[in-house]
Amino acid sequence: MDLDPEERLARVRRAAAERLARAPLGAEPSVLDAVRGVLALPDPGVAPEAAAEPLTAGGAGVVARRAAAVTEELTGFGPLAPWVRREGVTDVLVDADGHVWTDGTEGLVRRSLTLRPGDAEALAVRLITQAGRRLDPAVPLADARLYGVRVHAALPPVSSGGAVLSLRVPAPAPPSLERLARGWPDGPRWGAVLDELVGGHATVLVSGTTGSGKTTLLSAALSAAAPDERIVLVEDTREATPAHPHVIPLQTRAPNPDGAGEVTLAELIRQALRMRPDRLVVGECRGAEVADLLTALNTGHQGAWGTLHANAADDVPARLTAMGALAGWSPAAVAAQTRAGVDAVLHVVRDGRGRHPAALAVPDRPDDPAAPLRMLPALTWTAEEGTRDGPGLALLRARLAGRGPATPPGAGG
């Protein structure tokens, strides 16, 4: 069958991508080597002259575009690349049926692009493999970071009907707190409070639902920290990108196929304490590692930040208690450690006005230390009433009064 040049080019891309996916971890062949490898296969599905024609015909401009397309197919995000690079896009999603969606400033939008059966799975396997992780029928779920983009993939039978890809695209540069606050309701008020929290070395947990902007706000807050502070940043997958001159990023590692070599978030938190952090930051607490974080916050480390999923600031005590239970902690132990080590909870939401803070709360400090943990509102925003002060604001400011840059434990005499 006589194929047009674009179809022959597509065959070269697919065959080369499949060959690259079978290569050892870390393999990065050039476009030329990849094409040579495809043509060396017993049945590459395309003759050498057919491969050469679409790669070289059409003049220098066409050749450059086609070479870039092949390069993107072999080592980049393939057909998703235009959306990954598009300004305002925060997420690129591929459903099991191959439909492509994007989220961002336009909201959730289905695009005209549809991946053919098998192409999404081949792309998912290649991206995860390039990132140094494993994705195959034996390990059908993977989370990785590639070129700054967080990549999550699921393969059948876990994802019924086909492979599912979720790409979280970081902002080209982390916005400053000032710039971020411009888009918030009552932005000047909330921006000033954030400056107080950062400058006062408050220990803050940022809560919110998925996609509410927790990591973006975290990056902006850390960017506002004094340049002579050393920030040790611990994450499952690297997402926070603070514009700060002294950041030590640490990332967990999954076990190898033999079950060895795993590095957990809890272990990284313990190791981070030995790295002389001025600020200890945990990208997201999901489980028993919250016990290590709360322990660290009660060893003299001020100005720490972390994030966790919660529907509201008032729900944070229940989340902390549930995660603490995974580490064998009682509710009373979680409450005591939270009251002693956490200064504030900043809750962010995503609504028709975008992503913005909606509540600032502080842990209560009752006379009875055995009382269940509750959050006292310090600031609360609603569409009807705007931003209102709460009883927790005076408590927070009293707690931060006079607090300046702290000497990290073990850093001096």
- Which H, E and C letters describe 57-101, residue by residue? CCHHHHHHHHHHHHHHHHHCCHHHHHHHHCCCEEEEEECCCCEEE
Instruction: Give yes or no: residues 202 and 143 share one domain.
Output: no
Q: What is the pLDDT of residue 205?
A: 96
pTM above 0.95, yes or no: no
Structural domain ending residue among the three candidates 54, 75, 96: 75
**Residue 322 and residue 392: Cα distance in Å, rounded?**
24
Instruction: Give yes or no: residues 237 and 321 share one domain.
Output: yes
Tell me whether residue 413 is in a domain. Answer: no
SS3 state of residue 182: helix
SS3 state of residue 119: helix
Structural domain ending residue among the three candidates 52, 75, 98: 75
Q: What is the pLDDT of residue 369?
A: 81
**Residue 166 and residue 175: Cα distance in Å, rounded?**
23
Instruction: Give yes or no: residues 165 and 205 share one domain.
Output: no
Instruction: Give yes or no: residues 270 and 363 share one domain.
Output: yes
Q: What is the pLDDT of residue 9?
A: 57
Cβ neighbours of residue 214 closer than 8 Å, sequence gap 6 or more: 206, 207, 208, 284, 307, 348
Structure tokens at 59: 């003049």
**Residue 363 and residue 338: Cα distance in Å, rounded?**
7
**Residue 190 and residue 181: Cα distance in Å, rounded?**
7
**Residue 273 and residue 250: Cα distance in Å, rounded?**
12
Nearest Cα residue to 176 out of 229, 244, 239, 234:
244
Q: Return left, alpha or beta for 403; rule: phi > 0 is left, psi -120 to 50 is alpha, else beta.
A: beta
Instruction: Give yes or no: residues 130 and 6 share one domain.
Output: no
Residue-wise pLDDT for 117-173, tens only, equals 789 999 999 999 988 888 999 899 998 888 889 999 999 999 988 999 999 998 777
Q: What is the pLDDT of residue 26?
A: 40
Instruction: Give yes or no: residues 86 and 64 share one domain.
Output: no
Query: Residues 289, 282: contact at Cβ < 8 Å?
Result: yes
Note every long-range contact of 147-152, with CB atoms under 8 Å and residues 24 or more positions apart, other chains counting: 147/76, 147/77, 148/241, 149/77, 149/84, 150/237, 150/238, 150/239, 151/124, 151/127
Instruction: Give yes or no: residues 347 and 247 share one domain.
Output: yes
Handedness of CA 346, 351, 353, 354 (dihedral sign): positive
Q: What is the pLDDT of residue 409?
A: 42
Tell me whether residue 63 is in a domain. Answer: yes
**Residue 125 and residue 17: Cα distance in Å, rounded?**
10
Tell me whether residue 192 is in a domain. Answer: yes
Tell me whether residue 362 is in a domain. Answer: yes
CATH number, domain with residue 156: 3.30.450.370
Instruction: Give yes or no: residues 205 and 325 share one domain.
Output: yes
User: How many structural domains does the chain have?
Assistant: 3
Tell me whether residue 118 is in a domain. Answer: yes
Query: Residues 85, 57: contact at Cβ < 8 Å?
Result: no
Residues pairing with 152 in the sheet: 143, 166
Query: Residues 247, 266: contact at Cβ < 8 Å?
Result: no
* Ordered strands of the 247-251 beta sheet: 247-251, 231-235, 279-282, 305-309, 204-208, 344-351, 354-363, 375-382, 386-389
Instruction: Give yes or no: residues 71 and 5 share one domain.
Output: yes
Structural domain ending residue among the three candidates 100, 134, 169: 169
Residue-wise pLDDT for 167-218, tens only, equals 999 877 778 899 999 999 999 999 999 999 999 999 999 999 988 999 999 9
Q: What is the pLDDT of residue 370?
A: 84
Tell me whether residue 406 is in a domain. Answer: no
Instruction: Give yes or no: residues 190 and 275 share one domain.
Output: yes
Tell me whether residue 344 is in a domain. Answer: yes
CATH number, domain with residue 273: 3.40.50.300
Instruction: Give yes or no: residues 66 and 81 share one domain.
Output: no
All residue ranges of the chain with pLDDT < 50 are 1, 20, 23-32, 36, 38-44, 405-413
Q: What is the pLDDT of residue 57?
A: 55
**Residue 91 and residue 149: Cα distance in Å, rounded?**
9
Instruction: Give yes or no: residues 160 and 202 share one domain.
Output: no
Task: Quote the domain boundaries for residue 55.
Answer: 1-75
Q: What is the pLDDT of residue 173?
A: 75
Tell me whether residue 405 is in a domain. Answer: no
